[in-house]
Amino acid sequence: MATAAHDVTPAEASAHPLAESIVVRFAGDSGDGMQLTGGQFTLSTALAGNDLATFPDFPAEIRAPQGTLFGVSAFQINFGSTAIETAGDAPDVLVAMNPAALKTNVQSLKIGGLIIADEGEFGDRNLAKAKYDANPLTDGSLAKWQLMAFNISQLTLEAVKPFGLGNKEALRCKNMWTLGLALWMFDRDRAPIVDWLTKKFAKAPTLAEANIAALNAGHAYGETAEISGGGLGDKRLQQHHIAVAPAEEGLWRTVTGADSISLGLVAGAQLANVKMFFGGYPITPASAILHSLSRLKEFGVTTFQAEDEIAAIASAIGASYAGQLGVTSSSGPGIALKGEAMGLAIMTELPLVIVNSQRGGPSTGLPTKTEQSDLYQAVYGRNGDAPMPVIAARSAADCFDCAIEAVRIATQYMTPVMLLTDGYIANAAEPWKVPDVADYEPFPVQFLDHVPEGGFQPYARDAKLARPWAIPGTPGLLHRIGGIEKQQGTGNIEYGPENHQAMTDIRKAKVDNIAIPDQQVELGETSGTLAIVGWGSTFGPIHQAVRRARQRGLDVSHIHIRHIWPMPKNMAVLLRGFAHILVPEMNTGQLKTVLRDQFLVDAKPLNKVSGQPFQIAEIEAAIDAALAGHPGGEVAVNSDQLPSIEAVTP
């Protein structure tokens, strides 16, 4: 392995093979710029040609008291020369900018992993805020890890001294010093970061120069200080080079889930040949979709920030009635507020896309943490029998295709559609191959623009049971709109029992018969001993865990569901081909219950409700436990002692 000290001999190379991937976590106070640092390190990693996945993890408080445990912000990135599908389990390297960052993150670090700490922040006051009785940098409590502690704060002050900044302003540059050191450690080019700083501080060139100086100083420290030449295995910093990951030819970019959904919604509207109206209200972690779409006006997108969640969805329904594609987005609490209006969209049978970026609940819950606990809400969470298609994206890149699919179903079947993501997907970034638009089949909307022979029937049905989309003001197409039950065909108000039964059955049949692809097996056989069935952001850890298990000769397959409601027509036959079914979810077993209800299969839950994504090791351990045999038992994760797995009698 090439280091900063000497060239590697063939014997050394064979004794120490190149790492395929490395997990790094930057952690500090919420004012230390860890998200910005991680984002720019992600940019440099993508430009270096590595595959990657990120996990931003930050507090809900806008600005928690400095140095406190609940004010810690972290950014984890897993990058490598092979396919990377998760942000990684235990980090190899932890960069801790203060005692609180160290305390909240160190237990997740691999045994023998490297800690880089800013000893300048480990004074008595900060130690007390982090509830340390003694300085962990000197008391031996970190002995099972490798420790590199140096005064990043002081080194930053010295680097930016020529620019005349005040002490507070100068210390804001220390994240760039840290980034410079990380760029040196992993053989990254500084030029893109310098360009970014120059543009970011174009109106304050002194700040640009100071931050660039800090970046260069951190890089130079790694190059010149007497800490190089070794590696993570001998308690010295080492320059690691991760080979370029193999990738298909084409245009690639990094994308977050929020960006990907926004682009997919625009692409879907273009394929449907309709303009798009987005009615939104700010809420974490869904707000980024409003921000992204507001920058895409040239594609016929109108964005509207409403006064509340109800107004946001109501405005989107109004836009759909007027002949545009209405879209709204929120997270769990806002989706609850939108519930009545969703029923209105179902009753009026208008196209609408509702994006739910799930977060920890209930109520305000965990605004910045991830969860999958809104599946019941998505499938069942409206008054009356109110069926609605539900789609779940598996990753940031997958959001693009899922958004197009949501638009297709909404416009072709005249129905609202819910698209589920979560906080992990919304904020995480990964490489995305920009697709060729020519590969997507258009599904242009056919507005009714004339009075049909025999007269206009606003609730007449086509072969898909969809009613016509008639734009208000079209001569001869005047019709009622509203939430009261419709008479078959005419759409007039009708309370009759036979009519309500018939309309309820029609709305259900329309959703049940939506054309969706058959369910595929992502990895493994179409029948066997054990199927791991997942949905949403659990895809990465499940896929890696199943791959590892199969490499060990275990009979396990991975099934991942995109169409949650209605489910693919072949799902019953597919599930019954396995002796055991295990369903990992970041909730208390919601998909498991749906599978049991719909297909009468004995699905078992693997549940985690900690606000954190699954680790690969947790699912691997659950696979081993399930195949070892726990008749009649359920497998549960103890999130306090990962990856402990225990059998729980139902």
Q: What is the pLDDT of residues 76-107, one digit of tens each?
A: 999 999 989 999 999 999 999 999 999 999 99
**For the range 629-637, what are the long-range contacts, defined as Cβ-Cβ under 8 Å and sequence gap of 24 or more?**
633/604, 634/604, 634/605, 635/582, 635/604, 635/605, 635/606, 636/605, 636/606, 636/607, 637/606, 637/607, 637/608
Distance CA 35, CA 116 (A): 17
**Model confidence band, residue 60 (pLDDT cutoffs 50, 70, 90):** confident
257 assigned to some structural domain? yes
Distance CA 19, CA 195 (A): 30
Query: The CATH number of the domain where 294 resides is what?
Result: 3.40.50.970
Distance CA 582, CA 636 (A): 10
Token pair of 503, please?
Answer: 């309309």
Residue 330, φ and ψ in degrees, nearest 5:
-170, -170
DSSP-assigned states of every residue in 581-641: EEEEESSSSHHHHHHHHHH---EEEEE--SSSPPPHHHHHHHHHHHHH--TT-EEEE-TTS
Sequence-separated (6 or more) residues with CB below 8 Å from residue 442:
271, 272, 273
Q: How many helices (H) and strands (E) does the chain have?
A: 22, 22
Range of the domain at 280: 252-439
User: For residue 629, what pLDDT is reported?
Assistant: 65
User: For residue 227, what pLDDT is reported?
Assistant: 55
301-358, pLDDT tens digit by residue? 999 999 999 999 999 999 999 999 999 999 999 999 999 999 999 999 999 999 999 9
- Residue 280's nearest CA partner among 223, 341, 322, 326 is 326
Is residue 209 located within the same domain as residue 262? Answer: no
Is residue 491 located within the same domain as residue 530? Answer: no
Mind spelling out the 3-state secondary structure of 39-96?
HHHHHHHHHCCCEEEEEEECCCCCCCCCCCHHHEEEEEEEEECCCCCCCCCCCCEEEE
3 assigned to some structural domain? no
607 assigned to some structural domain? yes
Judge contact between 350 and 486, C-beta under 8 A.
no
**Model confidence band, residue 37 (pLDDT cutoffs 50, 70, 90):** very high
Is residue 534 located within the same domain as residue 507? Answer: no
Q: Taking residues 16-27, what's their average pLDDT?
A: 79
Is residue 292's pLDDT more than 60? yes
Q: 522: part of which helix (H) or strand (E)?
A: strand 521-523
- 276-280 and 252-256: which strand pairing? unpaired
Is residue 536's pLDDT more than 90? yes
- Helix 205-224 vs helix 152-160: angle between axes, to the nearest 10 degrees? 130
Q: What is the pTM of this model?
A: 0.90
DSSP-assigned states of every residue in 421-439: EEHHHHH-EEEEEPPPGGG
328-344, pLDDT tens digit by residue? 999 999 999 999 999 99
Is residue 582 located within the same domain as residue 488? Answer: no
Q: In what order do the strands lie in the sheet with 93-96?
A: 51-57, 72-80, 21-29, 93-96, 114-118, 146-150
Written as one letter, the residue type at 369 is K
- Helix 539-551 vs helix 616-628: angle between axes, to the nearest 10 degrees? 50
β-bridge mates for residue 556, sequence order: 530
**Model confidence band, residue 236 (pLDDT cutoffs 50, 70, 90):** low
- Residue 215's nearest CA partner among 266, 149, 159, 286 is 159
Is residue 103 located within the same domain as residue 45? Answer: yes
User: For residue 220, what pLDDT is reported?
Assistant: 94
Is residue 637's pLDDT more than 60? no
Is residue 434 located within the same domain as residue 462? Answer: no
256 assigned to some structural domain? yes
User: For residue 633, what pLDDT is reported?
Assistant: 41
Sequence-separated (6 or more) residues with CB below 8 Å from residue 112:
144, 145, 146, 232, 233
Distance CA 395, CA 250 (A): 20
Token pair of 544, please?
Answer: 């890696």
Q: Taking residues 126-135, what's their average pLDDT?
A: 96
Residue where a domain terminates, one of 459, 488, 515: 515
User: For residue 18, what pLDDT is reported?
Assistant: 47
Token pair of 511, please?
Answer: 């959703």
- Helix 152-160 vs helix 174-185: angle between axes, to the nearest 10 degrees? 110
CA dihedral of 399, 403, 408, 414, whole degrees rounded to 10: 140
1 assigned to some structural domain? no
- Residue 157's nearest CA partner among 189, 193, 121, 184 is 121
Is residue 379 located within the same domain as residue 323? Answer: yes
Residue where a domain terminates, one of 457, 483, 515: 515
Distance CA 231, CA 213 (A): 26
CA dihedral of 537, 539, 28, 45, whole degrees rounded to 10: -120
Is residue 378 located within the same domain as residue 300? Answer: yes
Q: Taking residues 454-466, what's their average pLDDT?
A: 96
Is residue 6's pLDDT more than 80? no
Residue-wise burial string across 184-195, b where 16 or more C-beta atoms lie within 10 A, e elsewhere: bbbebebebbee
Distance CA 375, CA 379 (A): 6
* Percent of all residues in the chain with a pLDDT value above 70, rounded to a whole number: 92
- Residue 613's nearest CA partner among 40, 56, 185 is 56
* Number of folded domains that form the chain: 4
Is residue 416's pLDDT more than 60? yes
361-378, pLDDT tens digit by residue? 999 999 999 999 999 999
Mind spelling out the 3-state secondary structure of 280-324?
ECCCCCCHHHHHHHCCCHHHCEEEEECCCHHHHHHHHHHHHHCCC
601-629, pLDDT tens digit by residue? 999 999 999 999 999 999 999 999 999 96
Query: The CATH number of the domain where 597 resides is what?
Result: 3.40.50.920
User: For residue 281, what pLDDT is reported?
Assistant: 97
Is residue 610 located within the same domain as residue 630? Answer: yes
Written as one letter, the residue type at 291 is H
User: For residue 461, what pLDDT is reported?
Assistant: 97
Distance CA 229, CA 239 (A): 8
Judge contact between 429 and 260, C-beta under 8 A.
no
Q: Taking residues 223-228, what's their average pLDDT?
A: 66
144-174, pLDDT tens digit by residue? 999 999 999 999 999 999 999 999 999 999 9
Is residue 631's pLDDT more than 80? no
Is residue 190 located within the same domain as residue 302? Answer: no
356 assigned to some structural domain? yes
Sequence-separated (6 or more) residues with CB below 8 Å from residue 570:
518, 519
Q: In what order do the strands lie in the sheet with 521-523?
A: 521-523, 556-561, 528-535, 578-585, 603-607
Is residue 432 located within the same domain as residue 451? Answer: no
**Model confidence band, residue 19 (pLDDT cutoffs 50, 70, 90):** low
Is residue 419 located within the same domain as residue 454? Answer: no
Mean pLDDT computed over every residue of the chain: 91
User: For residue 644, what pLDDT is reported?
Assistant: 39
User: For residue 233, what pLDDT is reported?
Assistant: 42
Is residue 8's pLDDT more than 50? no
Distance CA 527, CA 548 (A): 18
- Helix 398-413 vs helix 257-272: angle between axes, to the nearest 10 degrees? 40
46 assigned to some structural domain? yes
Q: How far is CA 108 from CA 35, 92, 178, 236, 627, in A?
A: 19, 10, 21, 21, 27
Residue where a domain terminates, one of 468, 499, 515: 515
User: For residue 173, what pLDDT is reported?
Assistant: 96
β-bridge mates for residue 548, sequence order: none
648 assigned to some structural domain? no
Is residue 645's pLDDT more than 50? no
Is residue 638's pLDDT more than 90? no
Residue 173, φ and ψ in degrees, nearest 5:
-85, -5
DSSP 112: T
